[in-house]
Structure 1
Amino acid sequence: MFGNKKTSSSPYDIETRECDVFIAGAGPIGCAFARKLAELGHNVLMVDTGAKLSPKPGEHLKNAFIYQRNVDSFASVIRGHLQTLSIPTSDQPVLTLDPAAFSVDLANPDYKGFVMNGQNPDQVPYHNLSGSAATYAVGGMATHWTCACPRHHPTIERTSLLSDAEWNTLYPQAEALLNVHNDQFDNSIRHTVVKEALQEEFTEIKDPYRPQSLPLAVQRRTDNSEFVTWSGADTVLGELANNPNYYQDKSGGVLEIVEQHQLKKVIKNGSATSIDYAVVQNLLEWKEVHVKAKVYIIAAGTVLINQILFNSEIDAPNSGLYLSEQPMAFCQVVMLNDILDKIRQDPRFADRVQQHQQENPHDPIPIPTHDPEPQAWIPVSENRPWHCQIHRDAFAYGDLRPNVDSRVIVDLRWFGIVSQQRDSKVTFSHKFKDTFGMPQPTFEFDMIHEDRNRQHDMMEDMLRAAHCLGGFLPGSEPQFMSPGLTLHIHGTARMGDNPNDSVVDTNSQVWGMDNLFLGGNGLIPRGTASNPTLTSVAFALKAAGYIDSIL
């Protein structure tokens, strides 16, 4: 379906591919572009640096039986897929090392800057986003994400660069692509009592911002309601995940997804106003591939899209600037005795509790063994500028020991807003390379005084919620987590209506480039607290409509 030829070039032949649209990054954003553009009749070639981990491209790995039975075991899967972006080097000598063993004299200036395993000698620890990481896989972070898909608050988080009418069109489309629901856990005993306890505590919060069910990209299975299907990039692709030629018979285009192929850079034409071709490294056969397309879309992750722009020498002076993240306060509580007593006495739960106790007479907990977990939230609002998730889920942290009964544990995660400041940024090295041979990223992140005070107030709010639900689980008392750990960095390729303070316009097109577009959380142009994926998919859908109009 795509042009494919080889041209002679030393030291080896270079394969050349041709297509209508080239996309780097097979996460949910790249797949949103691919789905929409294939539907509209364009042939799409999408590459990803990572491997395909599932029969269908980009499936959520938590759909496996074992992880639905024990969600905490999924935490190790997440940790295994996250590759830390910047690790400061250590200059502390190991004085207890065997004197005859090899060691480096760290005082010798000739050795300064020697790195292995992704260490970064340029990284100042205090300004690092030490929790920031990338996932290299077909499906990206959608292979292990929480699937939380709230809409951004219309005045506190959402950008006014798009009209209300556009948001009212794009958000439902994005929710449909991701298969978002807010009722798939409403039959859960745990979910019900946790949500109601929060509503009784936060009576001053009125609709639509009171404690409620969390919008999730998930659907409960009809063959066995104990299980759900979490949305992945395959969900966004729809029928294309099963048949890349699906739209061809409907006068549409074709999609090809190529794994373990890394976009190294894009090459500008002579006038430097458009992209001539993309340079891709075939990591399986270690060959160079040149891709010739009409349009190029980079949707490789918030930091990595800027890495590619830097390596391509694209004139985008605001690339990497205005970096913002979401400081996170976290704790886990053991539910109150009073809440468990209410479960025993509540007539709504009587049949299930009685059946469970008959089948498990020695179980002191009235909650059925496979009762779904709580999935609640308190949205961002005017007097509470933070996003609150109250649930039980798998992250790279917070997993429980096997002797802790998950049924009585509730996780609280409060995400804060940090305003976008030009001086907070990610830069890239001309000297040091990452694991994939690309310029090493270095973070320079800080918060202004107002933002710091806001996070302090956020922690107080989380303590209030925790108090109404239970007592702190030893080892998971309230704390602020490592910066960047939410994996919700935004602003590095921000959208705007002026090239002086942004990287792309409102159609996600790089300023000054005729056929180069970006996608992902980096485009979000103001500080936010809520999960960003739904908004980023909405941006991609708008951009895809514009791309169709110019092809």
Structure 2
Amino acid sequence: MWRAVGQRSFSKRILWTVNRSLAYYKDISSPKTLSADVCIIGSGPIGSAFARELSDLSKKKQKDLKIIMIDAGAQLSPRPGEHLKNAFVYQRDYNSFTGLIASHLIDLSVPTDNSPVVTLDPSAFSVDLTKHKYKGFVRNNQNPMQNPFKNVDGAAAAYNVGGMAVHWTCAIPRQNNELEQSNLISLNQWKKLYDRAEEFFKLDKTGHVFSDSIRNAVVMKEIRQRFHDRGVRELPLAVQLNADDHTQVIWSGSDTVLGDELINDPTNNFQILPQHLCVELVGGGTNNSTITSARCRDLTKSPDTTDGYVNVEAKHFIVAAGAVLTPQLLWKSNIRPMALGKHLCEQPKTFCQIVLKERFIKQLRKHKFPGLTDEMNKKISEHEYDHPHDPIPIPFTDKAPQVNIPVTKDYPWHCQIHRDAFKYGAVPENVDDRIIVDLRWFGLIEPRPENLVKFEPDKFDMHGMPQPTFEFELTPDDARNAHKMMSDMVDAAVVLGGFLPGSEPRFMNIGSSLHITGTVRMGKDEDTRGEHSVVNTYGQVREMKNLWLGGNGVIDKGTACNPTLSSVALAIRSSRRIAKEMKIHEEEEDN
């Protein structure tokens, strides 16, 4: 609403603003109020982990615990936060899932383009946005303050119940305990927290899910032979076999983390409010060190009415809205530790797609590829019998490869060799998906306070919240490692086949990994003023009694591997501290 007055005179603008503000406070001065023990803002896997752990701990003590979860997005499936790739059509065609992912990701900061459209019909409306009169007007997350050379231009948010977990890859590796894991927590405790987090996700520990995959066997053998000293393994995944059809799998989503018991809770002590945007955390108590309520806008109703807002009162508040939207809400609520938004870390990423070598296909057809089981060769024979004109001897139901080369000191990047759907990487319709393999390498960089996200006081995103602006650059060392990483990926690619035209090796936009960390990082207890960290090791915001943060933004070190499992582990640790303060948990984990 503030941008709409950019063309008015200064005096008219002031008058309009005062009148609009008076109307605003008159209309929402007595909104609907809900009460809970815990209010969780964000329904992705991290927010869901908080709800699950707190609920389980309360049940052990036979205590009722009322939890209200808030999300600005709609619920897309009957089960809240279910992985959408579980649908049959996407199981058979990953390619078609690419468009769905793209449709659910909203870019966070888009530099404005003021260049004229010289080919526009002269009779059509056009405007020079560089003129002072119009300079402040932007829409759709365009950001005139964003330097395109310092943008994290792949950064995006998912506004839906379940967050990114409705379309993620489900990769959940543990961080390398020397290079990536925070040393603020002991190795022994990390192990316990990881064990619990893997339970939430239903990690495939048996290795049975992809054990019958012909393509997985081919890729695994060739990569292990070439990189024999780098611990090549199956990519750790949050996935299960479909018990009724072993050619399909069940990908874990936020609903998996919540668990059936919480989703189907007959006491109604767990409630999700979809399409409710938390616009402010309201403080109270001594020095405003206690949050009393979360002011939320019901996006399905007019903001100019009392029904358009809901206040959620609670004893404890948890914000797990992502590495950018979490600090955005704190900034909007005037909770601004010095480290807020700083130490932003994101992975340089390389990507390519290859077409499997002809030699492999010929070996499969002749049942001479070394290492294939009798059952795999039997499936090839059956497929050829049923489809004698198919030039590719790989069953249509064969599962995609899932191979991982973990990060090491000598090779500081995390490697995934698989076939999956991202916002990018769809193959042409006339290319058979069975012979395509994706390679994605994720680089490790160290966090620096100069890399940050800040928030504009007079520019707003599509929800009317302060517009994020990024300032991010790689150091010369980061750039050199990224170059080596590209060389390493190409080395792996040529082992497997030739590059798919249009998907030759390239660097992806910074932020396209969707693995931003560090923006609300945890730190040592002595950092009480928040100069170097936003939260302590339990996720508690500095100088705030009942405000806790979760998510990738809490991670305090650079990470090459997928950070979700580590963020859930930290959420479990935070939950236990919250439960201890609520007197529903007694044992304190060792540090």
User: Where on the TM-score scale, by shorter chain, does this alignment land: which range?
Assistant: over 0.9
Match of 1:514 in 2: 545
Cα deviation, residue 230, structure 1: 0.4
Of 435, 449, 453, the match for 1:422: 449
Give the share of equivalent positions with the same residue, in percent. 48
Question: For 2:523 and 2:128, how far apart are their aligned partners in 1?
Answer: 49
Is residue 527 of structure 1 aligned with residue 548 of structure 2? no
1:257 maps to a residue whose letter is I
Of 467, 470, 490, the match for 2:517: 490
3-state SS of 1:411 partner: strand
Match of 1:237 in 2: 258
After TM superposition, the structure 1 stretch with the greater mean CA deviation from structure 2, 261-270 or 57-66, is 261-270
Cα deviation, residue 481, structure 1: 0.5
- Asked if the contact 2:52/2:262 (under 8 Å) is kept, the reply is no
Is residue 354 of structure 1 aligned with residue 369 of structure 2? no
Cα deviation, residue 15, structure 1: 0.6
Structure 2 vs 1, CA of residues 292 and 383 (structure 1 numbering), >3 Å: closer, same or farther?
same
Is residue 164 of structure 1 aligned with residue 181 of structure 2? no
1:187 maps to a residue whose letter is D
3-state SS of 1:68 partner: helix
Cα deviation, residue 343, structure 1: 2.3
2:88 maps to a residue whose letter is F
Of 76, 88, 104, the match for 2:111: 88
1:450 maps to a residue whose letter is D
Matches for 1:138-177 after TM superposition, within 5 Å:
138-177=161-200
- Asked if the contact 1:392/1:409 (under 8 Å) is kept, the reply is yes
Question: For 2:451 and 2:461, how far apart are their aligned partners in 1?
Answer: 21
Match of 1:216 in 2: 237
Cα deviation, residue 241, structure 1: 5.3
3-state SS of 1:111 partner: coil
1:276 maps to a residue whose letter is T
Cα deviation, residue 106, structure 1: 3.9
2:437 maps to a residue whose letter is V
Is residue 101 of structure 1 aligned with residue 116 of structure 2? no
Match of 2:280 in 1: 265
Cα deviation, residue 107, structure 1: 4.3
- Asked if the contact 1:35/1:240 (under 8 Å) is kept, the reply is no
Match of 1:196 in 2: 221
Match of 2:74 in 1: 51
3-state SS of 2:26 partner: coil
The gaps in structure 2 that reach 5 residues or longer are 1-24, 59-64, 303-307, 583-591
Cα deviation, residue 254, structure 1: 2.1
Match of 2:55 in 1: 38
1:188 maps to a residue whose letter is S
2:280 maps to a residue whose letter is K
Match of 1:462 in 2: 489
Question: For 1:471 and 1:152, how far apart are their aligned partners in 2?
Answer: 31
Of 281, 285, 296, the match for 2:297: 281
Question: For 1:159 and 1:53, how far apart are their aligned partners in 2?
Answer: 35
Question: For 1:470 and 1:185, how far apart are their aligned partners in 2?
Answer: 21
Cα deviation, residue 40, structure 1: 2.3
Question: For 2:27 and 2:263, how far apart are their aligned partners in 1?
Answer: 38
Is residue 537 of structure 1 aligned with residue 552 of structure 2? no
1:319 maps to a residue whose letter is L
Cα deviation, residue 98, structure 1: 1.7
Question: For 1:466 and 1:415, how far apart are their aligned partners in 2?
Answer: 15
Match of 1:122 in 2: 145
- Asked if the contact 1:240/1:255 (under 8 Å) is kept, the reply is no
Question: For 1:100 and 1:242, how far apart are their aligned partners in 2?
Answer: 57
Is residue 185 of structure 1 aligned with residue 206 of structure 2? no
2:106 maps to a residue whose letter is Q
Is residue 406 of structure 1 aligned with residue 437 of structure 2? no
Question: For 2:477 and 2:447, how far apart are their aligned partners in 1?
Answer: 12
Cα deviation, residue 413, structure 1: 0.1
Match of 1:438 in 2: 465
Match of 1:137 in 2: 160
User: Cα RMSD between the aligned structures?
Assistant: 1.4
3-state SS of 2:259 partner: helix
Match of 1:332 in 2: 353
Deviations 1:81-101 (A, max 9, x none): 000000000110112222222
Cα deviation, residue 516, structure 1: 0.2
3-state SS of 1:74 partner: helix
- Asked if the contact 1:147/1:218 (under 8 Å) is kept, the reply is yes
Cα deviation, residue 386, structure 1: 0.2
Question: For 1:288 and 1:222, how far apart are their aligned partners in 2?
Answer: 44
Cα deviation, residue 240, structure 1: 3.9
Match of 2:322 in 1: 301
Question: For 1:10 and 1:89, how far apart are their aligned partners in 2?
Answer: 35
1:380 maps to a residue whose letter is V
Match of 1:4 in 2: none
Deviations 1:378-414 (A, max 9, x none): 0011211100000000000001111111111100000
Match of 2:269 in 1: 254
- Asked if the contact 2:114/2:128 (under 8 Å) is kept, the reply is no
3-state SS of 1:10 partner: helix
Question: For 1:215 and 1:293, how far apart are their aligned partners in 2?
Answer: 37
3-state SS of 1:195 partner: helix
3-state SS of 1:29 partner: helix
3-state SS of 1:90 partner: coil
Cα deviation, residue 457, structure 1: 0.5
Question: For 1:394 and 1:96, how far apart are their aligned partners in 2?
Answer: 36
Cα deviation, residue 429, structure 1: 0.6
3-state SS of 1:331 partner: strand
Q: Where has structure 1 moved over 6 Å in runs of 4 or more?
A: none
The gaps in structure 1 that reach 5 residues or longer are 1-8
Of 388, 410, 429, the match for 1:383: 410
Match of 2:35 in 1: 18
Question: For 2:360 and 2:233, how far apart are their aligned partners in 1?
Answer: 18
3-state SS of 1:110 partner: coil
Deviations 1:478-537 (A, max 9, x none): 000111001000000001102321010000000110000001000010111100100000
Of 484, 495, 503, the match for 1:476: 503
Number of paired residues? 534
3-state SS of 2:32 partner: strand
Cα deviation, residue 315, structure 1: 3.2
3-state SS of 2:316 partner: strand
- Asked if the contact 2:550/2:570 (under 8 Å) is kept, the reply is yes
